[in-house]
Amino acid sequence: MFEDINHSIDGGLYGELLTNRAFQGSNIQPGSVPGIAGNVIVDSENPTIPWGPVLTGWAPIGDVRMTLDTLHPLSKALPTVLQVDIPTNATGEVGIQNYGWWGMDVRPQTYTASFYVLANQPRYPANATTGFTLSIRSNLTGETWASTKIPSRRLPVIDYVQLNATIENTATAPNSNNTFAITMNASEVAGQTLYFDLLSLFPETFKDRPNGLRKDLAEALYNMHPRFLRFPGGNNLEGVSVQKRWKWWETVGPLKNRPGRPGNWNYYNTDGLGYLEFLEWTEDMEIEPVLGVYAGYSLDVYGSGGTSFPPDQMPAVVQEAIDEIEYAIGSINTTNGALRASHGHPKPFNIKFVEIGNEDWFSTTYPYRWQMMYDGLKAAYPNITYISSTFNENAAYNISIPPGAYWDTHHYEEPRFFLDGFDFYDNWQEETNNTGVGVFLGEYSVYQEDTPSGYINYSNPVDTHVFYPRLLSAISEGVYALGGERNPDTVKMSSYAPSLQNFNWYNWTPNMIAFTANHNETVLSASYWQQKMFATYHGTQTLPVTNSEGDFNPLFWAASIDEPLNVAYLKVSSPADMG
Ligand code: AHR
């Protein structure tokens, strides 16, 4: 399960090494204030415009002045650029540098750099030419690990030019406190003003995809042997406002046309890892996409109950999802299939699973939204399995899920809940009148220690909250997963959540994998190994187990056979000695 939370995508799995590469927006801090229901923004990195652009992550080199500029936009989507003024008396090396996402891992490989640049005509002499040196440096010692030159050339003054270069690096930096620098010789640029935008530095990526995934983290995920990827959320699908929801069409195509958006997890998302990149990720990992489509409900940072589309405006939301699916699976003769082809992927993807919304029990409106979405999508794409984000979580209603469709149920709980839940799905279809309905354990993890009340405290008190997965987390999550495995007619899929946490900036714990910019600091948690073990050793049929004594608890088990391989698996999980 994947969404941009904890800087798991920007600053995480998305390979881009530069932070704030296009001055798109900044962080905010929500909170409550007395007398006002719901959250408000109580603090913002940009003090004037919450979510607004900032210079964070950038610093001058030599005698230059850096400001943000909106008079020379790169594109409609990227309206703010970096203005660099070089004084007339500047000498030596001048330029800009980026500190990366809390640093930059440097090891031998070929880096790919690019940026857009424009000269200010009144300040650009008729005979001027400009060259650039691109280098990766230590921020501690100033040592240059690798560099390359873009030869002097005349810069444009009307439309930006994109300059590209590769940097061959043979060094291994001793730590991740490194920067990326773009420098010029003051003898060429003194007295001038240059504008920069969409500055980018990529290392080699997973399966060598351009604009692809950070290799080591992607490999950690791949090595788990996942079967599917649910994306793009999670709350982050829904938007902090209806207007700023994850709009698939704004996440595809050339990066300069992607505006990004204020993410639901308090930082701006670039959407550099957009819809097509998510799909390519599933292709590269040979797994099924589980596409979460917007279902007419946004959480809204300001509201307590969120904002819902009224019934008469739902047809547009249904059409949005129909088009979105067409972008993935349509032939190149369809409008959106042709759009995908124009983005470099003529071959259609196969989408077998679509989830309608996310955790819609927060709203009172899912009964009509679910029905309209399900009916509209089923008519358009009858062979897809649809997943309801809600069944009975909202005390005001039960959703009627038709046979063949699934229910995505989420559990951030105590160990006891998962141990007690071992048999929850044994007769679930019959007991809940859900014959033929599948269950997707779409998000689960041990969230806090066992408490007398069992009440999950999302303010994360230090005495009970589980900040990082522990052995008891993995064991009890494993017991729950065993309960799913022995009911494969009901429990069809499961996934831990959230997947990734950047140690330098996060707003949810616990997470399956935690990391920093430094690839040597990645932590694969106990829950990661449990997930990997269960995914790797997974039969095609369950097998009966005859036990000579006792019954389940404190030992729990399930057995299966991989028929093509003729290998049987017996999985056991027990908290017996864990207290
Ligand atoms: O996984 C973190 C969040 O938990 C998800 O965004 C949401 O679906 C759930 O509430």
The pLDDT tens digits of the residues spanning 269-284 come to 999 999 999 999 999 9
What is the number of the ligand 1 atom nearest to the C-alpha of 264?
A: 6
Which amino acid, one-letter code, is at 142? G
Distance (Å) from CA 234 to ligand 1 centroid: 5
**Which residue's alpha carbon is at the smallest distance from atom 6 of ligand 1?**
234
pLDDT of residue 405: 98
Which amino acid, one-letter code, is at 570? L
**Which residue's alpha carbon is at the smallest distance from atom 5 of ligand 1?**
234
pLDDT of residue 579: 56
What is the number of the ligand 1 atom nearest to the C-alpha of 497?
A: 1
What is the number of the ligand 1 atom nearest to the C-alpha of 412?
A: 4
State whether residue 373 is helix, strand or coil.
Answer: helix
pLDDT of residue 63: 96
Residue range 412-438: mean pLDDT, rounded: 98
CA distances from 404 to 353, 378, 569 (A): 11, 11, 28
Which amino acid, one-letter code, is at 364? T
Structure tokens at 27: 């962080």
The pLDDT tens digits of the residues spanning 133-178 come to 999 999 999 999 999 999 999 999 999 999 999 999 999 999 999 9
**Which residue's alpha carbon is at the smallest distance from atom 1 of ligand 1?**
498
**Which residue's alpha carbon is at the smallest distance from atom 8 of ligand 1?**
234
User: What whole-number distance in Å separates Cα of residue 119 and Cα of residue 163?
Assistant: 13
**Is the pLDDT score of 300 beyond 90?**
no
CA distances from 197 to 50, 225, 457 (A): 21, 38, 43
Per DSSP bridges, beta strands 385-388 and 297-298 are unpaired
> Which of 6, 356, 410 to probe ligand 1 with, by most ligand atoms within 8 A of CB?
410
Residue 495 CB–ligand 1 contact under 6 Å: no
User: What whole-number distance in Å separates Cα of residue 312 and Cα of residue 575?
Assistant: 52
Residue range 12-39: mean pLDDT, rounded: 95
Structure tokens at 6: 């904890």
Query: What confidence tier does 239 reach under pLDDT thresholds 50, 70, 90?
Result: very high
Distance (Å) from CA 550 to ligand 1 centroid: 38
Residue 497 CB–ligand 1 contact under 6 Å: yes
Sheet containing 523-524: order of strands: 500-502, 513-515, 523-524
Structure tokens at 390: 């809600």
Structure tokens at 577: 């000695």
User: What whole-number distance in Å separates Cα of residue 120 and Cα of residue 157?
Assistant: 6
User: What whole-number distance in Å separates Cα of residue 514 and Cα of residue 524?
Assistant: 7
Structure tokens at 547: 């036990």
Dihedral class, residue 42 (left if φ above 0, else alpha if ψ from -120 to 50, else beta) = alpha
Residue 443 CB–ligand 1 contact under 6 Å: yes
Structure tokens at 382: 């009858």
Question: Can you point out the beta strands (E) in 127-263?
Answer: 130-138, 144-153, 161-169, 178-185, 193-202, 228-231, 261-262
User: What whole-number distance in Å separates Cα of residue 542 and Cα of residue 561?
Assistant: 6
Residue 262 CB–ligand 1 contact under 6 Å: no
What is the number of the ligand 1 atom nearest to the C-alpha of 236?
A: 6
pLDDT of residue 70: 98
**Is the pLDDT score of 302 beyond 90?**
no
The pLDDT tens digits of the residues spanning 117-129 come to 999 999 999 999 9
pLDDT of residue 261: 98
Residue 279 CB–ligand 1 contact under 6 Å: no
Query: What confidence tier does 388 reach under pLDDT thresholds 50, 70, 90?
Result: very high
Cα 72 from chain centre: 30
User: Nearest to residue 325, comparing CAs of 369, 356, 297, 361?
Assistant: 356
Residue range 229-246: mean pLDDT, rounded: 97
Residue 438 CB–ligand 1 contact under 6 Å: no
Residue that has been written with the tokens 């679910």 in this structure: 370
User: What whole-number distance in Å separates Cα of residue 164 and Cα of residue 152?
Assistant: 13
User: To the nearest whole number, what is the mean pLDDT of the chain?
Assistant: 97
Dihedral over Cα of 276, 220, 518, 178: its sign:
negative
CA angle 216, 217, 220 (to 5 degrees): 90
The pLDDT tens digits of the residues spanning 501-542 come to 999 999 999 999 999 999 999 999 999 999 999 999 999 999
Distinct helix (H) and strand (E) counts, the chain: 11, 29
Dihedral over Cα of 102, 196, 252, 298: its sign:
positive
pLDDT of residue 385: 98
Phi, psi of 501 (to 5 degrees): -140, 125
Q: Higher-confidence residue: 167 or 577?
A: 167
**What DSSP designation does 14 have?**
B
What is the number of the ligand 1 atom nearest to the C-alpha of 3?
A: 6
Structure tokens at 318: 């249904």
> Which of 298, 360, 412 to probe ligand 1 with, by most ligand atoms within 8 A of CB?
412
User: What whole-number distance in Å separates Cα of residue 562 and Cα of residue 564?
Assistant: 6
Instruction: Using CA atoms of 298, 303, 308, 313 in order, give the dihedral in degrees to the nearest 10.
Output: -100
pLDDT of residue 39: 87
Report the share of the chain in percent with pLDDT over 90: 97
Q: Higher-confidence residue: 213 or 33?
A: 213
**Which residue's alpha carbon is at the smallest distance from atom 9 of ligand 1?**
234
Residue 484 CB–ligand 1 contact under 6 Å: no
The pLDDT tens digits of the residues spanning 57-113 come to 999 999 999 999 999 999 999 999 999 999 999 999 999 999 999 999 999 999 999
pTM above 0.95, yes or no: yes
